[in-house]
């Protein structure tokens, strides 16, 4: 991911002399690191985890550290967030014993929070500061059990806020064009007479319906070229061990129609619908963070126009625009995942590039 301020000059349009970015047509990049620091601090600091249950009180205290970068890119009202952050949060616990009130403190660390994993909960590590006695171990276990879900819930709120524009959200909302016409002075507004719409032929209606995505869903299409045989590429995509090799993650892949598969440590799962060795893979396919019951259809067509050259055509339909947490970067992240985490890595690991 490019760092803030290091975009390719060929894709950055210079601002107008009057400072206006009309209708957000050009890319506008907003640094969100300080906003992220303030937002995460307000979300995470002072969270009550236990309020006396079992004689133990436990709460978060302060956001001690936030490192990394965060920004949003905006063009024509479309928001593309980017962030790679690590954070450390302090917590404290106390319990009343026969000898009085005993206190212990510790930290919760999120080593990697990034937009590329917006549809997954980040790793969270809990440590104790000082002596690791019975109360310390009890407090640590309690934070894992009760505190971790609270912290992850608040992080999801931050991720959702970034997906909507972060600090630029209010600016975007204020620039939206009003849809209602103002009433003329001295009277009430009258709606224009509806135009008579020409009835379309049934065949035209059917063609339009077939070419249009369902509301709230999108289609991803791409074509990639590899210098290998089609059957070799097919084998890589259908073999557990090869998949583990180029993704460095766990995978379980059935080679039977109707068989199930699980990729990227279980983040992606689905069922094989049609398989033709070296020619076709059709699968029901979903991320675990998508709403329950939502599956896309992945269709991979392998073509070998000449010996040693394979062109793979991907079409993925019914990809939801938002995940269950309200993140609106599902389509962008899915498309980027195919290109960067699958196709580019296959070229690099197996030498199928130029």
Phi/psi at 194 (5° precision) = -65, 135
Model pLDDT for residues 68-97, shown as the tens digit of each residue: 999 888 765 677 888 999 999 999 999 877
Interatomic CA distance for residues 158 and 87, integer angstroms: 13
CB 69 within 8 A of CB 83: yes
Range in 74-88, 270-284, 333-347 with the lowest mean pLDDT: 74-88
Question: Stretch 141-155: mean pLDDT, rounded?
Answer: 91
CB 311 within 8 A of CB 225: yes
Total structural domains within the chain: 2
Same domain, 38 and 158: yes
Per-range mean pLDDT, top range of 4-8, 37-41, 173-177: 37-41
Same domain, 298 and 233: yes
Interatomic CA distance for residues 306 and 194, integer angstroms: 57
CA distances from 104 to 26, 62, 107, 132, 181 (A): 52, 15, 11, 9, 62
- Of residues 79 and 343, more confidence is placed in 343
Range in 35-49, 69-83, 144-158, 319-333 with the lowest mean pLDDT: 69-83
Identify whether 15 is part of a domain.
no
pLDDT at 30: 80
CB 242 within 8 A of CB 233: no
Phi/psi at 200 (5° precision) = -85, 150
CB 69 within 8 A of CB 112: no
Same domain, 26 and 123: yes
* H, E, C per residue of 19-60: CCCHHHCCCEEEECHHHHHHHHHHHHCCCEEEECHHHEEEEE
Q: Which of 116, 149, 173 is the last residue of a domain?
A: 173
In this predicted structure, the answer to whether residue 9 has a pLDDT above a threshold of 90 is: no
Residue 263 pLDDT class (50, 70, 90 cuts): very high
Domain that holds residue 26: 22-173
């Amino acid at each position: 991911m490019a760092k803030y301020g290091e975009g390719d000059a060929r894709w950055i349009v210079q601002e107008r002399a009057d400072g206006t970015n009309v209708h957000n047509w050009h890319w506008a990049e907003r640094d969100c690191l300080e906003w992220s620091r303030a937002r995460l601090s307000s979300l995470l600091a002072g969270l009550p985890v236990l309020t006396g249950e079992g004689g133990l009180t436990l709460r978060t205290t302060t956001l001690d550290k936030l490192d990394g970068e965060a920004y949003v890119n905006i063009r024509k009202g479309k928001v593309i967030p980017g962030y790679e952050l690590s954070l450390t949060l302090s917590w404290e616990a106390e319990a009343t014993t026969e000898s009085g009130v005993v206190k212990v403190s510790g930290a919760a660390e999120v080593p990697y929070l990034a937009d590329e994993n917006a549809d997954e909960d980040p790793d969270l590590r809990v440590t104790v500061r000082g002596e690791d006695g019975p109360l310390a171990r009890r407090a640590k276990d309690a934070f894992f059990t009760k505190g971790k879900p609270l912290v992850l819930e608040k992080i999801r709120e931050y991720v959702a806020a970034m997906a909507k524009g972060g600090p630029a959200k209010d600016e975007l909302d204020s620039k939206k064009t009003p849809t209602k016409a103002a009433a003329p002075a001295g009277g009430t507004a009258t709606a224009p007479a509806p135009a008579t719409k020409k009835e379309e032929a049934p065949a035209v209606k059917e063609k339009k319906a077939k070419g249009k995505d369902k509301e709230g869903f999108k289609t991803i299409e791409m074509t990639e070229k590899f210098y290998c045989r089609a059957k070799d590429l097919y084998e890589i995509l259908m073999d557990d061990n090869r998949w583990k090799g180029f993704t460095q993650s766990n995978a379980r892949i059935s080679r039977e129609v109707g068989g199930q598969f699980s990729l990227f440590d279980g983040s992606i799962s689905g069922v094989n619908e049609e398989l033709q060795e070296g020619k076709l893979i059709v699968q029901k396919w979903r991320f675990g963070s998508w709403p329950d019951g939502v599956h896309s259809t992945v269709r991979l067509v392998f073509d070998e126009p000449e010996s040693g050259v394979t062109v793979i055509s991907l079409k993925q339909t019914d990809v939801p625009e938002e995940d269950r947490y309200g993140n609106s970067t599902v389509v962008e992240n899915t498309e980027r995942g195919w290109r960067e985490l699958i196709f580019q890595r296959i070229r690099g690991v197996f030498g199928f590039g130029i």
